[in-house]
Structure 1
Amino acid sequence: MILVTGGTGLVGAHLLLHLLENGAKVRAIYRDEKGIQKTKSLFQHYKKPALFDAVEWVQGDILNIPSLEHAFIDITKVYHCAALISFDPKDENKLRKINIEGTANIVNFCLAKGVEKLCHVSSTSALGDLAAHETIITEETEWNPEKYHSDYAISKYGAEMEIWRGQQEGLKVIIVNPGVIIGPGFEDQGSGQLIKKVADGLLFYTYGKTAFVAVNDVVRIMIELMESSICNERFILIGQNIVFRDLFNTIADTLKVKRPSIEARPFLIKLTWIFYWFLNLFFRKSNNVSKDTLQSLLNNKEFSNQKIKTALQTSFTDIHQYIRENFSAN
């Protein structure tokens, strides 16, 4: 039996679908019925509603030890997809608790219950920082604690430390570090929010750059790694490093809406953050646009996917084509 945490999120829901398509017996943790309905809607999106009924759902929480006791009965492999993604400074404690303490709980149960192998979904945010002589981030790029990192990045880096602790205690592990994951469903999360903003008439673009990957590639590679003899390794999973302007244009053209037409230069990014900060301070408006989020639009980080391509002889979906195929306005 395979256990999936985070089965009500973008990666976890797609992972459940792929595992069931391959005939696996799967158990998934859920916190409330609302989350299950999102996963059910995704199965319906792919016209596979019957497979949804094959998931064994167990109500629980990665921070609730008693609930995990039941979830881990007869489990041989674990995919740990559950995490909090937030760049709001107010969520610092929640990020550390869910992403670090929650991962520690999963590792401890895997060790106690004799789980064969654990796959942890991390993030490119947890990767290292480029030195002066380096130009592209790889799995070997070293984390520099003296450089600034968002609370989210620190929490994901801390979660990876828990995974490596488990490995040192005898657990076979795999860590994957996806870029920004693009996939249908879950419009209120991650790339879904990005696509919605373009659909709603986003005016601004930047020439910043980051890494993107199709969700189907992420879950396919996770399964291949777990079924292989490869263990105790981490792999960057990215399809392409893409300039935000190019990505926004592809999304706009696919949705048949107007392309963003105003370049957001650094001073405008700073003014935007100050504006939202004042809204939050004086009017108690929820600040869902953080300084870290805005700053990321100006970054020009490049990531390498060569290690996973060599290990599995795999290739990645073209992101622009994936968007055109999965988000068409028809």
Structure 2
Amino acid sequence: MSKIYLLTGAAGLLGCNIARQLVDAKEVVRALVLKDDPAVAYVPDQVQIIYGDLLDINSMEELFTVPEGSEVIVIHCASIVTMNPNPNPKVYAVNVDGTRNIIDMCLKHKVKKLVYVSSTGAIPELPHGQKIKEVDHFLPADGLVGYYSVTKAQASQLVLDALRWCPELDASIVHPSGICGPNDYAFGPVAQTVSQYLNGEVKIGLDGTFNSVDVRDLAAGVIACCDKGRRGECYIMSNELVTMKELYDIINQTANMNVHANILSKGIASLAVKFIKMQSKFTGEEPVLTDFAVYNMTRNNDFDCSKAKQELGFSCRPFEETIRDEVNWLLEEAKDSGEQNEEAEKNAEKTVEEIKERIKMGDISKVIVRKGDERILSIPLNISVAVSVVGVAVAPLTFLPAMISAIGFDCHIELEKKDGTVMDVTNGVASAIVDASGYSDRN
């Protein structure tokens, strides 16, 4: 019997790593991806992409329609993660209603196994000094803080309820702590903090702890749960407790930096939040520090993952190794980005010089502005263009920048030559053409 994995959230950090590990193991993988999601570029090429939406159950039919006799395993990773503690209809729809739809499709198509990726946030916090273990029921009223945690608890209970009423369904739940690791193109909380620290943007930290599992180890644990996870059981997958100071020290050592951030106590941080709130009311900007952020860093983050280790063979590399890999990845990305930008600038300069020469020779007869397939603007150039390069203003071109700005910078600029052929140039090059014609928006 052939096996096929159906994966949601494949364009996210965890889903992408799960897909990559399954592909490396020569497994057949299908992934549900939102149409026009640019992150689909990070999904391995060997994965069959099915465009659909968790909230449109009919759009998932193609995902679940597999060859007869296939052994189907569903891994449900997709969710909206939010640091905003307030209720949000979209977060509820995706995290709760989306999970309900996945359960319904699993029952309809008689899948062999469902693994739902929940969160440790769905488990009630215990006092400091006590390890937090798995629970066998989820009530959002059980002292949960933050709307994301509430929705993950509700979705987890949906899975357990389905198991109680539908004996033909086999499902397990995985509760990751925070997730981090290299190749985090979505820039989750840890990647964002590391990146900001590398850029010298982090001046303070909180005197608290956090708990983040390496995404590569988490992906392996989720896959193991597909095979070894017991029906109706929950599994915490977490790492060791780490302080902000320890995180900063690892970054400094790996990147050969010597930056020191001030570590604030919970009391001082809470006081700072009040001033930041007042400031944000006047500036209209989002506060850089919130009560919810302070809570997350100072709560009990000591999770017990011994059950996953014993039953699934889960293991997690030291946090220091993960952060070193993440720092090195971010530094390499910055280097590659810089080289690409430099190459793009050189190509643009070369194109501009070529166009300047054509303008001087009077080879360009018309500037055309398009948006999609629609021609928005067509500007014929007269003989004065030839002398505009040396500073004479050209009336037909003087209003082009304003027109482009009004239309939007997603337009295409085309130069029509006298022989009727057309050159399509980038917006940046188009701006340079206008500058070369003697026009400046500072005039």
TM-score category of the 2 structures, normalised to the smaller one: 0.7 to 0.9
Matches within 5 A, 1:20-169: 20-31=23-34, 32-37=36-41, 39-40=42-43, 52-74=44-66, 76-89=72-85, 92-130=88-126, 135-140=130-135, 145=141, 147-168=143-164, 169=166
**Cα distance, 1:143 vs structure 2:** 6.1
**Aligned residues with identical type, % of pairs:** 24
Q: Which residue of 2 aligns with 1:256?
A: 256
Q: Which residue of 2 aligns with 1:180?
A: 178
Secondary structure in 1 aligned to 2:88? helix
Structure 2 vs 1, CA of residues 283 and 248 (structure 1 numbering), >3 Å: closer, same or farther? Answer: same
Count of aligned pairs? 317
Q: Which residue of 2 aligns with 1:243?
A: 243
The farther-off stretch of 287-296 and 308-317 is 287-296
* Kept after mapping to 1: 8 A contact 2:124/2:144: no
* Kept after mapping to 1: 8 A contact 2:77/2:117: yes
Q: Which residue of 2 aligns with 1:292?
A: 292
- Which residue identity is paired with 1:164? L
Distance 1:254 1:187 in 2: 22
Higher relative contact order, chain-length normalized (CA < 8 Å, sep 6+)? 1
**Cα distance, 1:163 vs structure 2:** 1.2
Gaps of 5+ in 2: 333-443
The farther-off stretch of 254-263 and 19-28 is 254-263
- Which residue identity is paired with 2:8? T
**Cα distance, 1:319 vs structure 2:** 1.2
Structure 2 vs 1, CA of residues 23 and 288 (structure 1 numbering), >3 Å: closer, same or farther? Answer: farther
Secondary structure in 1 aligned to 2:158? helix
Distance 1:106 1:287 in 2: 36
**Cα distance, 1:226 vs structure 2:** 0.7
* Structure of higher CA gyration radius: 2
* Kept after mapping to 2: 8 A contact 1:92/1:152: no
- Is 1:215–2:215 an aligned residue pair? yes
- Which residue identity is paired with 1:121? V
- Which residue identity is paired with 2:48? E
**Cα distance, 1:294 vs structure 2:** 2.7
Instruction: Tell me the C-alpha RMSD between the 2 structures.
Output: 2.4
| TM-score of the two chains, using structure 1 as the length reference | 0.87
Q: Which residue of 2 aligns with 1:317?
A: 317
Distance 1:155 1:260 in 2: 37
- Which residue identity is paired with 1:247? L
- Is 1:197–2:196 an aligned residue pair? yes
Distance 1:33 1:146 in 2: 35
Secondary structure in 1 aligned to 2:155? helix
Secondary structure in 2 aligned to 1:240? coil
- Which residue identity is paired with 1:70? E
Secondary structure in 2 aligned to 1:79? strand
Structure 2 vs 1, CA of residues 148 and 24 (structure 1 numbering), >3 Å: closer, same or farther? Answer: closer
- Which residue identity is paired with 2:6? L
Distance 2:39 2:268 in 1: 37
Gaps of 5+ in 1: 41-51
**Cα distance, 1:326 vs structure 2:** 4.2
**Cα distance, 1:67 vs structure 2:** 1.0
| TM-score of the two chains, using structure 2 as the length reference | 0.66
Structure 2 vs 1, CA of residues 187 and 99 (structure 1 numbering), >3 Å: closer, same or farther? Answer: closer
Distance 2:272 2:21 in 1: 40
Structure 2 vs 1, CA of residues 183 and 66 (structure 1 numbering), >3 Å: closer, same or farther? Answer: same
Secondary structure in 2 aligned to 1:327? helix
Structure 2 vs 1, CA of residues 199 and 271 (structure 1 numbering), >3 Å: closer, same or farther? Answer: farther
